[in-house]
Amino acid sequence: MDLGSEAVHIDVFTLFPPWFDWFRGQRHVVNAMALGSSVEAVDYRAHTPLKAGQVDDTPFGGGAGMVLRVDVVEAALRARYGEDPVGLREHRRVIALTPGGRLLDDALASELADEPALTLLCGRYEGFDERILEHFVSDQVSIGRYVLAGGELAAMVVMDTVLRKLPGVLGDDSSAREESFSEALEGAPEYPHYTRPAQWRGWTVPEVLLSGHHARVDEWRREQSRRRAGGPLP
Ligand code: ADE
């Protein structure tokens, strides 16, 4: 089964680069970087052509909040990639995190893990000037139908799902292959897990898991997974 490419180079454009220091310190992310992937935070403000580090502005037509400016995002992308960002999306996935975008699921995570490189754009406040989405971006991705204060947490969720799919990142590749919603489980939720102690307050573990009979264990797991696919768990 295809678990994605060997490594992914991710640039995340943000007004808050230090947020990503924490993310980069997480064990599986450290593993991914040791195996050749990268996660770099690029500061929109570092490249703004405007005075006093301005990056956003009030919306035309009035209304609350601030909108990330198209000239600021263009300058940041140009500085990073040395080309007109209109052409960038032809050879690199440029993903804006937006609440209304394509919903992130396991299939999208696998698709992104197959890419050699990704650019993630985080919005803040009221979001992006629409021309950024129209002219620079190849995809819009949402982590759920609710509104976050900005795209940073969503970018971390996307990166987490992508990086853990790369070979070697979790230590044991079968844990990423046979997990909830994966192809291996035909899109169904994962089967239940148990570990020691085999008895706790009279709560037991299914006998088959203690049997050492791998084929029966496999069959039981698949059956449990299919049963869970029938509906949400309590
Ligand atoms: N930015 C704000 N809310 C978001 C969401 N739910 N998903 C992705 N990006 C967002």
Residue 163 tokens read as: 């990086």
148 lines ligand 1 (CB under 6 A): yes
Per-residue pLDDT tens digits for 153-197:
999 999 999 999 999 998 777 677 778 888 887 887 889 999 999
- With beta carbons less than 8 A apart as the criterion, state whether 32 and 140 touch: no
14 lines ligand 1 (CB under 6 A): no
**C-alpha to C-alpha distance for 212 and 110, rounded to whole angstroms:** 32
Residue 212 buriedness (CB in 10 A; 0-12 / 13-18 / 19+): exposed
CA of 146 to the centre of ligand 1 (A): 7
Per-residue pLDDT tens digits for 71-89:
999 999 999 999 999 999 9
CA of 169 to the centre of ligand 1 (A): 26
Which amino acid residue places its CA nearest to atom 4 of ligand 1? Answer: 99
> Residue 167's Cα: distance from chain center in Å?
16
The model carries a pTM of 0.92
- With beta carbons less than 8 A apart as the criterion, state whether 9 and 116 touch: yes
Strand pairing category for 9-14 and 117-121: parallel
> Residue 143 pLDDT more than 70?
yes
CA of 148 to the centre of ligand 1 (A): 5
Mutate to test the pocket of ligand 1, among 143, 145, 160, 161 (most ligand atoms within 8 A of CB): 143
120 lines ligand 1 (CB under 6 A): no
Residue 223 tokens read as: 């059956």
CA of 103 to the centre of ligand 1 (A): 10
Which amino acid residue places its CA nearest to atom 5 of ligand 1? Answer: 99
3-state secondary structure of 198: coil
> Residue 37 pLDDT more than 70?
yes
For 101, 156, 202, the CA distances from 19, given in Å and listed in that order, are: 23, 10, 45
**C-alpha to C-alpha distance for 31 and 111, rounded to whole angstroms:** 20
